[in-house]
Chains A and B, each alone.
Chain A
Amino acid sequence: MSLDNTIKEIKTSFHSDLSNCKTTTDLENIRITYLGRKGKLTVLFDDFTKLPGSEKPKYGKALNILKTDLNNAFNKKLNQLNPDSGKSNDNSEDFSLPGYTLPKGSLHPLEQITSEIKSIFQSIGFSVAYGPEIDDDYHNFEALNVPKHHPARDMQDTFFIDPNTVLRTHTSNVQIHLMENQDPPIRHICCGRVFRNEAVSYKSFCLFNQVEGLVINESSSFAEMKGTLEYFVQEMFGKGTKMRFRPSYFPFTEPSAEVDIWNDKLNQWMEILGCGMVNPNVLANVEYDNTKYQGFAFGMGIERIAMIKYGIKDIRLFYQNDKRFLEQF
């Protein structure tokens, strides 16, 4: 008998048996006859494996259709005879049990803020640059218009590796490396760890993370710096965030400004970043023609922004890595 016919025959007799079935005992017998370990369907599958490879695709498909058909019809009947059986078989499951407890992974809050800042600036065409955490005095200070024995050095307490080598106090050293290796236009942010020799307390740590930006071309002005940073603040802190630029001093920029945003809860301004037009001396140090090129730079501390954004009161929490803290992000 050809397999085709067998398939048809089994299908017909199964449906006929099923329609005559009145009790669960009858149904169980049908299951054994057709679907059981030695049932007709199982035997048919055994036969199938012995077929030559060339015929397998054709019958394989037909057999699978038969199997699905029989199972569906069987389950339908089972439901009719025993309406509760659909949910479970003999050992009824308790779906009120808890689900599997998966470990609560998280990205560090500082990573999240950094990534958010990066995306905002990337969306307006800034690339990201990286550079060394240990650098020479020249790249960290002198090239940035902070000569030795300048009072501005007091603004950043420095860790020294040797008298001429420092743990960078800002990521601005990356800007110098960048400009030494690339002609304008420059439109970059740099980010990473920076170090300050300050006493560790709830508001200061011996290191923090920074994002700094640099734009150099023939036309970028103070007004454009304001526009760029306003865009950033609205994206980062929400549309309508009140902000102000106020004059300040950094040796590497002139004019310099600090940006505050208004904190409704505390009813006060909070400083979030520093910025300014790149000092022509800095451009001269990297052998850019400072009569032709100009631009602006800005910098911010990630911890400070994270503290504002998440309401964190102690900076040391970022470096303690308490799971109970980390899991909240």
Chain B
Amino acid sequence: MKVSLSWLKRFVDFEYSPSELADKLTMRGFESEVVADFSALEHIVVGEVKSAKKHPDADKLKVCTVTDGNETYNVVCGAPNVDKGQKIVFAKVGAVLPGDFKIGKAKIRGAESFGMICSERELGISEEHDGIMVLDSSCTVGAKIDTVLGETYDAIDVEVTPDKAFALSHRGIAREIAAMSGSKLKNPIEALKATSQSNDVVKVILDKKGGCTRYIAGTMKNLTVGPSPKWLADYLKSVGQKSINNLVDISNFMLLEIGHPTHIFDLKKLSKPMIEVKWAKKGEKFDALDEESYKLDTDHLIITDSVNTIALAGIIGGKDSAVSDTTTEVLIESAYFDPVVVRKGSKKLNLLSEASRRFERGADPEAVLEAFYMIVGLMSEVAGGTLESLVTGESTIDPTLHKISLSEDKLLKYTGQDINHKSVSSILDGLHIRNKKSKTGWECVIPSFRHDVKHETDLIEEVLRCYGYENIKSSYSFSSQMQYANDAEQPLFELKQHLSSLGFNQSYNNSLQDIEEVKVFGINPVSVMNPSSEKMNTLRTTLHRGLFENLDFNFKNGSANTLIYEHGTVFEKKGDSLKDIDQVSNFSCLVHGNFYEKNVHFNALENNFFLLKGMATNIFETLTKTKVKFVEDKHSYCDIFYRIVDGKKNTVGSIGVVADSFLNKLDIAHKTNVCVMDINTSFFVEHFNHNVKVKDVVLYPVVNRDLNFKLDSGTNLGEVCAAMKSINQSILQHVSPVDIYESKEEDNKKNVLFKLSFQSVKKTLEDNEVNAVIAEIIKVVTKKFNAKLRDN
């Protein structure tokens, strides 16, 4: 909310500069920024245009001479309204305008220019940029600009949080300033009770189902529409609002002055001087002031003249009943509408207005009458009208003020610091909260404009906010509350560190994806009702999609070698209710390209299935102390797919080589196999470094033997190794193929060199013990796999 310093001064005297005021308000809970601070502007003065001639080489430009009282400058100006004799805002060379716009010497179409004649927009006053700002002729040439504009246009932007409806006006902010500076709040407009000229009555009927708890109406006649007086237009301008005409301006002014929204209808456009507040019919159309037509629903509260809908209660007036240049008679509405009703109504139409913003946060029910009489008073002053009807209204509001006790003990316990009684009382006084010290604390009476103060803690907040958070001493007593700090996901962090040291980059991908792209993964997805874009309308069902995209992105940007992983939640819809949505923590890795490029030391090493297989074995063995096996299985988009299983045959992860056709369908750039690995996070967390039972290190020597077999090319070596191991598990510790080469003599044959390690945990092995096992192995392998032993 833009707040003008001059306007605030109607209510309270203060000497703060805009930036001082912004700082002070910020520290009281109103985050504020300076919008315009003319005292901070250097080299900008009142200038006078001595001459203005057409630019010789540009139709729309003028070459002017401008004086600052001492010297005369050539200035090129593009504004159509610039003219000889005008007093203007002259930014000299070296000036810096709001928005960090630096003024320097310039040459424009061949004409030299020493400075700039400013528009309102360039000065940060308004959006007005059609012409330059022309100052009052009484201004002194050469005067620093803050002496002329600062008084009117110094302004700050105040962010008012949703709980502080009481501050949505100049009076509201001024009240805060008065409270913090100890000054007295002034009352610039007396809400004088005008007397009516006739006994006419505006009949007001409120719907029994609520929505409006107070409505006051009255009519005025003999009004003259015209431009607003300068003071009124200036105030509106000081907060960036355009002056329209005196009647409209008055309503806008009152809103910003005391924060209570009112509405003014053209009485002659109503079918009769009557107000009926009721609920809209479903589908009813309403043409609003903003030139839009809205379709209403049964929870929209409307104002009618018993025949036509003339306003959407608390949100916006109707187009057909609006005041215009020819208005002479008006009906003034001042009412209190239910915050939830206004909120729902405006949300449904996505129609926010200054009025709805205030009503939905809660207006001051006691301001209804005050605002009405202020409007009447201003109308007669500015537009010369008189109150015609008896002021009539309906109210179901309970005027009793809310009472709350604030306990001293509670204040101390909550704050952690003793605040002296006098400070508390004077803070409450400053906030217009009547208070009386009791034995145990304070008995408080809350003013009607502070309906946000409902509980004791609301009062504590007010006291602390005004006392100053910076004045509360920090306490470090928390060390007494130390307890065992647990983090269930710590093991996964260890896994991430492990993978990252192996050379993997960690990804964070968007959880929201395009439904079309999610669907192809074959899992029923969860979609968002109100996506911000169609590209992000559905929650991911797998992490693979994101990893594929990372591959594609990096590949296209020059890095084909990819080792990435992500840990995150994926979602699956299994039914319509929340509990039928599976939300599972997944951990996926993807590799592509090379692990090592070919170099002077060795040939390239591929990122492939075997890299992942080795890593999986290593990860499960070192981090979860689990020996894993790989079991072949089918997968919808992997050509080759293995489940990783533990000793109890639980699936603890998987490795797959993604089908090329699938990647091509998704348009993922790649040049080698793309392999993915998944790790079951709950298994990992549960088994992380658990159950380490140290075994004695075997000190007896290891005996290594090599065996060279000729086998059929198609023989599965994993099976051969398993068969060998099954022969003697007590001393044959390890078997692995170390070399394979195709047989030169025979097609369909391969020669495989196996390395076998023997070791006993009980003694040093004798040759004959090893030989016996070897002989058995040769026998079994020869028979079972149609193999032939070759000489070493």
Chain A contact residues, CB within 8 Å of chain B? 49-50, 52-54, 56-57, 60, 97-98, 100-108, 110-111, 115, 118, 121-128, 130, 132-136, 149-152, 154-155, 159-163, 165, 167, 185, 187, 193, 195, 197-200, 206-207, 215, 217, 219-224, 226-228, 230-231, 244-249, 251, 254-258, 277, 279-280, 294, 318-324, 326-327
Q: A151-B339, A206-B532 are known contacts; what are 10 more A-B pairs with Cβ within 8 Å? A: A111-B496, A127-B485, A185-B481, A221-B416, A223-B475, A226-B475, A246-B469, A254-B457, A280-B455, A326-B507
In this complex, how many residues of chain B approach chain A with their Cβ under 8 Å: the count is 103
Which of B162, B340, B486, B502 makes the CB contact (< 8 A) with A127?
B486
Chain A residues near B526 (CB-CB < 8 A): 134, 161
Contacts of B772 in A (CB 8 A): none
B455 contacts across to A, CB distance below 8 A: 280
Q: Give every chain B residue within 8 A of A294 (Cβ-Cβ).
A: 413-414
A103 to B504, CA, bound (A): 7
Measured CA separation A122–B497 after assembly (Å): 19
| A251, B454: Cα distance in complex, Å | 13
Q: Which residues in B have their C-beta under 8 angstroms from that of A130? A: 488-489
B68 an interface residue at 8 Å Cβ cutoff? no
Report the 9 A-B pairs with minimum CB-CB distance, sorted nearest first: A221-B416, A223-B416, A103-B503, A247-B29, A249-B161, A255-B461, A128-B487, A125-B482, A227-B474
Given contacts A133-B511, A320-B553, contact A155 B599 (CB under 8 A): no
Q: Assess whether B689 is interfacial by the CB under 8 Å rule.
A: no
- For A57, A110, A121, A254, the residue with the greatest tally of chain B CB atoms inside 10 Å of its CB is A254
Instruction: Given A245-B470, A321-B505, decide whether A277 and B414 contact each other with a Cβ distance below 8 A.
Output: yes
- Which chain B positions have C-beta within 8 A of A155? 162
Chain A contact residues: helix, strand, loop or mixed:
mixed
**In the complex, what residues of A have CB within 8 A of residue B108's CB?**
none
A–B pairs, 25, beta carbons within 8 Å: A53-B764, A53-B767, A103-B561, A104-B503, A105-B500, A124-B482, A126-B485, A127-B483, A134-B526, A149-B340, A152-B162, A159-B529, A167-B539, A193-B511, A197-B530, A221-B475, A226-B469, A227-B474, A245-B469, A255-B460, A256-B461, A277-B457, A279-B457, A321-B505, A321-B509
A160–B162 CB distance below 8 A = no
Residue-by-residue, is B533-546 near A (CB-CB < 8 Å gives 1, otherwise 0)? 10010010000001
Question: Which B residues are CB-close (under 8 A) to A251?
Answer: 163
B601 cross-chain contacts in A, Cβ below 8 A: 97, 100
**A231 near B476 (CB under 8 angstroms)?**
yes
Q: How far is the CA of A71 from the CA of B563 in the complex (A)?
A: 44
Contact A134 to B414, CB < 8 A, known contacts A53-B763, A57-B764, A247-B465: no
Known contacts A227-B474, A294-B413; is A248 also within 8 Å of B563 by CB? no
Contact status A326-B415, CB under 8 Å: no
Q: Give chain B interface residues in 547-602, CB to chain A under 8 Å.
A: 550, 553-554, 557, 559, 561-564, 568-569, 571, 576, 578, 581, 583, 595-597, 599-601
B595 & A103 in contact (Cβ 8 Å cutoff): yes
Chain A residues contacting B302 (CB-CB under 8 Å) are none
Q: For the complex, is B417 an interface residue (Cβ under 8 Å from A)?
A: yes
Asked if B506 is an interface residue, CB under 8 A from chain A, the answer is: yes
Collect the chain B residues with CB atoms within 8 Å of residue A49's CB: 767
| A322→B554 contact, CB < 8 A | yes
B294 part of interface (Cβ distance < 8 Å): no
B510/A207 in contact, CB under 8 A:
yes
The 0/1 profile, CB within 8 Å of A marked 1, for residues 152-177 of chain B is: 00000000011110000000000000
Task: Select the residue from B164, B484, B512, B597 with max chain A CB neighbours within 10 A.
Answer: B512
Question: B residues within 8 A CB of A133?
Answer: 511, 569, 571, 583
Chain B residues whose C-beta falls within 8 Å of the C-beta of A122 in the assembled complex? 485, 487
How many Å lie between the Cα of A257 and that of B475 in the bound state? 16
Bound form: Cα–Cα A271–B576 in Å: 40
Question: Chain B nearest CB: distance from A101 CB in Å?
Answer: 7
Residues 430-465 of chain B: 1 if any A CB is under 8 Å from the residue's CB, otherwise 0?
Answer: 000000000000000000000000010110110011
A150-B162, A222-B472, A244-B470 known; A106+B506 contact, CB < 8 A: yes
Binary CB contact string for chain B from 322 to 350 against chain A (1 if under 8 A, 0 otherwise): 00000000000000000110011001000
Partner of A199 from B162, B472, B529, B532 at Cβ < 8 Å:
B532
Bound-state Cα–Cα, A110 to B508, Å: 8
